[in-house]
Structure 1
Amino acid sequence: MKKNLLFVIPSLEVGGGEKSLVNLLAQIDYDLYNVDLFLFNHSGLFLKLVPQSVRILGMQNNYHVFTQSLIKSICSFILKGKVNMAFNRLMFSTKNRILKNKAISEQYSWRNLSSSLNGLEKQYDLAIGYLEKSSIYFVVDKVIAKKKVGWIHTNYSSSGMDSNFDYSFFKKLDTIVTVSEECRKSIEENFKELEKKIRVIKNIVSPNVIKTLSNEKIYIEDETKNKSINIITVARLSYEKGLDLAISACEKLIINGYKVQWMVLGEGKERSKLEELIKAKGLTKNFKLMGNKENPYPFIKNSDIYVQPSRYEGKSIALDEAKILNKPIVTTNFETAVDQILHEVNGLLVDISEQGLFSGVERLLNNKQLRDKFIFNLSKEKLGTEEEISKLYELLED
C-alpha cells in the first residue's frame, strides 16, 4: 500500500529552496508514494516543473482574501461577518510594518496569518515543512501526520530568526532536516536539546539534467561585442546575497581597466536599490540585472567566471550548478562555502567584501593557468546528489 507524503512551501517562485524541492520531487518513486504539495500561493516559474504525479492542493479562500491589500481584505472580511479575520489581518500588517527584521516579522505574525489557513483533513505518513518559518509552522499546527519534519535551508545563526519562538514548534517535530554539516552545527548551537532530531540531507542536483538544459541556445546582448569577460551570478535580489558588494567590486574592475560584463540572474525586493547603485556608479553597460530565467544554465555555461557574493547561505545550489558546468568560481567565504569549495583547488574563497570579490576576480582574470586548473579539477569531481532521495525514504522508516 502506498504511503502518503505531504510537502508544504509558500510558493514555487525562483529560489534555492524552491528549486531544491522541484529537484527532489523529480526523484521520488511514485509507484511507492502518493505525494501532495500544499502551496500558500499557486505561483512561481517552477510550478510547471512539478511532476504530474504530484497532487497540488487547492488554494484556500480565506487566505486568498487575507493576502489582498489591507483595506480590501479587511472590508471583505467585515462584509462577510468575519470580524476576527479582519482583526488578524490588521495585526498582521501592523507587525510587518513595525518589525524591521523580515525573518522575525514572519515568525511573530504567523498566529495572525494562520487564522486564514484551514487544517488539512487528510492524514499523512510523513509531512514536511520544506522551508523554515511558515512552512514548518503550518505542518505543526495544521497537519495530521504520523511523522512531521521541518526542513531548514539556511544557516540558522545568520538568519536573524528568534530561536525562542521556533523552539515551541521544533520540539513538536520528529526530525529537523538541514542541507549541510555547517547548517547542522548552527542548528545544534541554537537548539542543543534537539540535537538528536537533526539530520543532513543535501540538496538534490542532477548533472545530466543541468548539462542537457545548458545546451539551449540563447542570445546574450553584449555592447562590447564579445571583447569583455562575462561574469555571472545567480541570486535572489536581497541583502544576504551581497549584490551591493558585487556592484562595488565591478566598479573597481572597470576603474582598473578590465573589460567585464557582469550579469545577475534573479529577482527580489532589492531591485530598485540595486538599480540606483548601478546607475550611481555608471555601470549600466557593465552590470545587468537580468531577472529570473526559467533556464539559467545556458547563461552559466556561456560565462567565463561564476561569482557568488553572498553574506550568508544555507548551501548554495547555484554554486553546485556552476561546479557541474565546470566554471571557474569566486565565492565569498560565508560559513557553509567550505562545504562546496576547496580554496585554490576548485575555486577561490574570498573575504565578504567588495575588496575581497575584486581581488578574487582580478586574480582569475590575470591567471589563465589557475582558471584551467579549476576547470580540470571540477571536471573530475562527482557532483550528482540524486542518491540523497534514499535519506528521505529513511525518514519514513526510522
Structure 2
Amino acid sequence: MEQGGAQAMIMNLYRRIDKNKIQFDFMVHSNGKGYFDDEIKKLGGKIFRIEKFYVFNTISYYFKWKKFLLDHSEYQVIHGHIGSSAIVYLQVAKMLGRRTIVHSHSALPDKFDLHSRIISLLNYPNRHIATVVLAASERAGSDRYGKKVLKQENFHVFNNAIDTQNFMYSAIRRNEIRSKLGISEEALVIGNVGRLVEEKNQTRLINIFNELVKLVPTAHLVVVGEGQLRPNLEHLIKHLGLNRNVHLVGSKKNVADYLSSMDMFVFPSVNEGLGISLIEAQCTGLFCIASDSVPKEAKVSPIIVFQSLSDSDVEWVNTILANQSQKYVVNRKSKMAYVKKAGYDIQQTVPLISRIYNDLYWR
C-alpha cells in the first residue's frame, strides 16, 4: 500500500465506507512497511503478507492462498487489484465458494511492450473467473480482459473518484508552496503528479521542459511523487543543467496545495487506466495537457487537451505556450462542478461499491 493511483482510490473508499457494515483488510506482496499502513490500522484494518508472485512459484503461491482462505472463512468477498496473480487467488477463492471482484486500473501502452502483454495474457481469463469485473475505464477493461468483456452484464466501469472538497484551488496555498520552493509569483510553473516509473514518462517530461526553458528561462517544473526512477531523473536533470528549475519534491499528503502552485499540468504518460491525477488537477482548475495514451474518460472539463506522444518535444512546448494565456490559466477557478457531473466525486462512488459488496455478500 504505497502511494499510487489505485492505492489512493482504495483509501478514499475505505475512509468513507460504513465500517459498521463493511471492513477492508489487506493482503500485500511486500514485507516492508507501506505508506498507508498506519492509517489502515488506525481505521481498524488488518494487513496480511504473502510472497510475491513470479509465475515460477505458482504452486506455492496457490497453496498459501488456499491455506489463508481456509483459515479465514470470514472473508466472503475478495476484491483483487493485482491482475498478474489474480488468476491464482481468484480461482482459489472461487473454488472455496467466495465471491470475487477483479479490478483493472491500467490499460496497455500503445507501443508494444512484452512485459505488459504477458500481464495482459495473465489477466484475460479473470473475466471468466470473477463474479464481478471492474475497470477504471472501458479501455482499461478491454485491454486487460478483451473487448467482449464490455458486453458482459457483470462488467462495470468504476470511476476512480476523489474527494472534490480536498482539491479546491487556493491562492494562499499557491503562494506558500512557491515561497517554500523559491519560485516567484510571476514564474511559469509546469507540474506533474505520479509515481516516478516508466509508465508515467517523467523522463520525457523533463526533456520537454528542457525545450521550454530555452524559450522561457524562468520557468519551473514541479514533480510530486516518488519511485524507482528518481536516481535516473536526478542524473538527467543534472546533465541538462536544470537543477535550479526542476523540483522533485517526493510524495506529499497535501497534493492539492502543490497543484494550486502550478500553472499547467503536463502528463505524457504512456500507460494509464484513467489518470486520477488529471481528475485532481482539473478539480483545482489547472489546465492539463495529457498524452493520447490517456483514456478520454479523463476529460471531465474544458481545461484539458490531448497531445500525441509521437509529437516532438518542441510541439509539446508549442502547446504549452499556446495555452499559457488562455482565460482558464489567467483567471483560474476550481472545476468541482464538472468533476461531480462526470461522476468522479467520492460521495458518488462509495454507495456504488457498498452496493456491490452487499449484493455479493448476500448472494
TM-score (norm 2): 0.81
> Which amino acid counterpart does residue 108 of structure 1 have in structure 2?
V
- Per mean C-alpha deviation after superposition, the further-off stretch among 349-358 and 204-213 is 204-213
CA distance in 1, matches of 2:164, 2:209: 30
- 2:297 maps to 339
Query: Which residue of structure 1 lines up, in the alignment, with residue 28 of structure 2?
Result: 39
Question: Does the 8 Å CA contact 2:188/2:218 hold for their aligned counterparts?
Answer: yes
Answer whether contact 1:227 1:259 (CA < 8 A) is retained: no
Q: Which amino acid aligns with 1:350?
A: Q
Ranges in structure 2 where 5+ consecutive residues have no aligned partner: 111-115
8 Å CA contact retained: 1:130, 1:151? yes
Report if the CA contact (8 A) 1:153-1:178 is conserved: yes
CA RMSD of aligned residues (A): 3.2
Give the structure with higher Rg (CA): 1
Determine whether 1:371 maps to 2:329. yes
Q: Is residue 39–residue 56 contact of structure 1 (8 Å, CA) maintained in 2? A: no
**C-alpha displacement of 1:245:** 1.3
SS at match of 1:161: helix
Alignment partner, residue 38 of structure 2: 48
Residue from 196, 200, 216 that aligns with 1:257? 216
- How many residues align? The count is 340
Cross-structure match for 2:352: 391
Q: In the alignment, what sits opposite 2:113?
A: none
1:119 aligns with 2:68: yes
Unaligned runs of 5+ in 1: 1-11, 68-105
Say which SS state the counterpart of residue 50 (structure 1) adopts: helix
Give the C-alpha shift of residue 261 in structure 1. 0.8
Which deviates more from structure 2 when the two are superposed, residues 380-389 or residues 263-272? 380-389
Give the structure 2 partner of residue 128 of structure 1: 79
Paired residues for 1:44-193 under 5 Å = 44-50=34-40, 52-59=42-49, 63=51, 108-109=55-56, 111=58, 114=61, 118-120=67-69, 121-123=71-73, 124-134=75-85, 137-141=88-92, 144=96, 146-156=98-108, 159-187=116-144, 189=146
Aligned equivalents of 2:307, 2:277: Cα separation in 1: 17
Q: Secondary structure at the match of 2:222?
A: strand
In the TM superposition, residue 145 of structure 1 has moved relative to its aligned partner by 5.0
Query: Which whole-Å CA distance do the structure 1 matches of 2:161 and 2:104 have between them?
Result: 14
Please give the alpha-carbon distance, in whole angstroms, between the structure 2 residues aligned to 1:329 and 1:113. 46
- State the secondary structure of the residue aligned to 2:118: coil
Residue 246 of structure 1 contacts residue 357 of structure 1 at CA under 8 Å; is this kept in 2?
Answer: no
**How far did residue 262 of structure 1 move?**
0.3
CA distance in 1, matches of 2:87, 2:260: 36
Change (3 A) 1:50 1:280: same
Q: Which amino acid aligns with 1:299?
A: Y
Give the Cα–Cα distance (whole angstroms) in 1 for the partners of residues 160 and 9 of structure 2: 6
Deviations 1:69-105 (A, max 9, x none): xxxxxxxxxxxxxxxxxxxxxxxxxxxxxxxxxxxxx
> 5 Å matches for 1:200-215?
200-211=157-168
Partner of 1:26: 15
Task: Give the conservation status (yes or no) of the 8 Å contact 2:127–2:149.
Answer: no
Q: Secondary structure at the match of 1:55?
A: coil
Deviations 1:356-385 (A, max 9, x none): 4322222223x2435247x45835424324
Which residue in 2 is equivalent to 1:294? 253
Map 1:2-21 → 2, pairs under 5 A: 12-21=1-10
Q: 1:189 to 1:139 in 2, by over 3 A?
A: closer
Shift of 1:109: 4.3
Helix, strand or coil for the counterpart of 1:160? helix
Is the CA contact (8 Å cut-off) linking 2:289 and 2:306 kept in structure 1? yes
Pair 1:242–1:112, CA change in 2 (3 A): farther
**Larger RCO (alpha carbons 8 Å, 6+ apart):** 2
- Residues 109-164 of structure 1: CA distance to partner in whole angstroms, max 9, x if unpaired? 45177266652322233110123223664343368453111111001465433444
Distance of 2:274 and 2:234 partners within structure 1 = 27
Contact 2:12 2:346 in 1 (8 A): no
Contact kept, 8 Å, 1:26 with 1:51, in 2: the verdict is no
| 1:353-372 matched pairs, under 5 angstroms | 353=311, 354-365=313-324, 367-372=325-330
Distance across 2 between alignment mates of 1:213 and 1:33: 35
Superposed CA offset, 1:270-306 (max 9, x none): 1222222212211111122221113222111122222
Confirm or deny: 8 A CA contact 2:126 2:145 kept in the other structure. Answer: no
Q: Look up the equivalent residue of 1:351 and give its one-letter code.
A: S
How much has 1:58 moved relative to structure 2?
Answer: 4.1
Whether the 8 Å contact between 1:260 and 1:286 is mirrored in structure 2 is: yes
**Cα distance in 1, alignment partners of residues 335 and 281 from structure 2:** 10
